[in-house]
Every structure is written in structure tokens, then in C-alpha cells.
Amino acid sequence: MDYRTATPDDLVTIFRSLSLRLADQYSVAGLNIEDAKDEFLMSLREQRAHTLLMEGEPVAIIAWREIGHAAQTAFAAHESFFSRSTVRFCKKHIRRIQALCGNLPIDSYSWSDRAEVAKWFRVLGFRERERGNGVTIFELDPQ
């Protein structure tokens, strides 16, 4: 896996075949697909989004913004992204993003009740910080 600064074309590619599990999460969070794309587009314009590549092809976008005492992430991906082979890369990459944010804690919000989502966050180094109203907030502490 590799990454690059995300482009509007990458955004189109990812959302054209967006994973249903992520589309469902956006819906539960109260976002329609166009709203979610607009949020990502703002991050792209601010150079705060990376496209994750598998064999040179875009499979995911991760965006971030600093809000107060933490950085928050947003994520979109094809279903093919969700495999064991992406874990090691993502564990390093999320720390790279954290460094870009001045080593702030990173908060990731999840509207999924799937057990593998919590496991994924734990493997990446996150801990569950808060749960309520259908959302779980996972936090990655600074190094």
C-alpha cells in the first residue's frame, strides 16, 4: 500500500464504489452521500486528505481536521480496502497524520455496531473514549 495527497478525481473514484457499510454509517450519522462528499472536498481543498492506494489504485480516502484539543478523521473506502493486508499500513499511516496535526490526539467517530469495527480501531492503537446515542468515539493518544 501507498498514499498520496487526495484529488477530486480520487474522491469520485472512491464514492463511485463506496463500501455499503460506510454508506450505512453516513446515513445513521445523518449525512447523505452528497453531504459526505462535500465534507471530503473541503478537506481536499485544505490539503488535509490522503488517498490510500492498493497496487496503485485508489481504495480509500482519509481526511482530517483539527478541532480544539484533537484531530478528527473522516473515512471513505471501497469494500476491497477492508482486509488484513491493510492493517500494518494503516497503523503507520494514522501516526503520520497525527504528526501532521502536531501530535494531537485523534478522534474517530463510528456509527457502526459491528464487532470488527471496534477490533479494527484497537489494532490501530485507538481506545474507546465514549459511547452514546448510537455513536462510539475512538481516540488515538499522542505518542
CATH number of the domain where residue 81 is located: 3.40.630.30
How many other C-beta atoms are found inside a 10 Å radius of the C-beta of residue 117? 18
Beta 70-77 vs 106-110: how paired, if at all? Answer: parallel
Cell reading at 121: 480501531
Q: Give the integer Cα–Cα distance in Å for 64 and 62.
A: 7
In a domain, 51, yes or no: yes
Query: What's the number of domains the chain is made of?
Result: 1
Which tens digits make up the pLDDT trace of 59-69? 999 999 999 89
Q: What is the pLDDT of residue 125?
A: 96
What phi and psi, each to the nearest 5 degrees, are found at residue 120? -55, -50
Residue 58 is predicted with a pLDDT of: 97
Residue 92's pLDDT is: 96
Structural domain boundaries enclosing 9: 2-107
Confidence of residue 84 (pLDDT cuts 50, 70, 90): confident
User: Does residue 89 fall inside a structural domain?
Assistant: yes
- Is 103 inside a domain boundary? yes
